[in-house]
Amino acid sequence: MGNLKEVRTRIASVSSTQQITSAMKMVSAAKFRRAQNAIVSMRPYDKQLSDIIRDINVEDGVDTPYHAVRDEKKVLLVVVTSNKGLCGAFNSNIIKEANARIKHYQQKSGVELSLITIGKRASEFFSKHTTLVKSTFDDVLDKPTFDNVAAIAEDIMNRFCDKEYDKVEIVYNKFKNSLTQILSTEQFLPVMPDTKKDENKVQSDYIFEPSKQEILKEMIPLSLRSQFYRVVLDSLASEHGARMTAMQKATDNATELLKELKLTYNKARQSAITNEIIEIVSGAEALNG
């Protein structure tokens, strides 16, 4: 009977875990829908803004301080993860990619590398394993408003213009759907103009007032802040999608394990009952004999 008690304990434990993972999946699904709507709504605006700036750059070659290409002596790596775990390989993939970028720049002589982390998982890991972390912005993921995120982008942009950094890269998960996240490394600064000419593309006929130069000076910072905000929204949608998928798999696994445990329990119970019947019959025959 001790075996039966052990199996019953395991059944109760797995059943409790199944309820927790099922509830977490429902919570993640609600958060995922909000995050998905946010990034889907953001992308057309970000794309249109980038297209307008690209049209100006291609023909006019107008530069701003954010276009300044310098020797890569001081590089900033922005690593975006989540604050919480239980989302599959979401965070580990980002950390692996960030480590690969760190090794890439450390192999170059004369390169001073710095890290800015967004998300507790990245902050905790790199704080323990490196001394490169300069700033952490974990709280921004709790309330990812445009103003909160744009403030981080603004600080990075100002430091780039002040030549504290010569290049800025962002490592994050780009959202595709609830099952797929695309591990991405994007160059944030300097801004690289689109030099590719598409013969089939129709150039937009804009009227610029007061001038293209003045407009570009205003639009480039706005575009960079929007790009940074889009990165955070991409990461959040990817996180909730990954967690929802992970909790669904965990729930399915718990369901399968419960089936196996219940079958094991029934077999053990049947065997125990059979043994008891045999003992009773054997005792009765001994008395009759």
Q: Could you list the active site residues?
A: 87
Residue 241 near residue 178, CB atoms below 8 Å: yes
Q: Measured between alpha carbons, how far is 227 from 170 in angstroms, rounded to an integer?
A: 11
Are 45 and 226 spatial neighbours (Cβ–Cβ below 8 Å)?
yes
Strands 167-175 and 112-118: unpaired
At 47, list the tokens. 């794309």
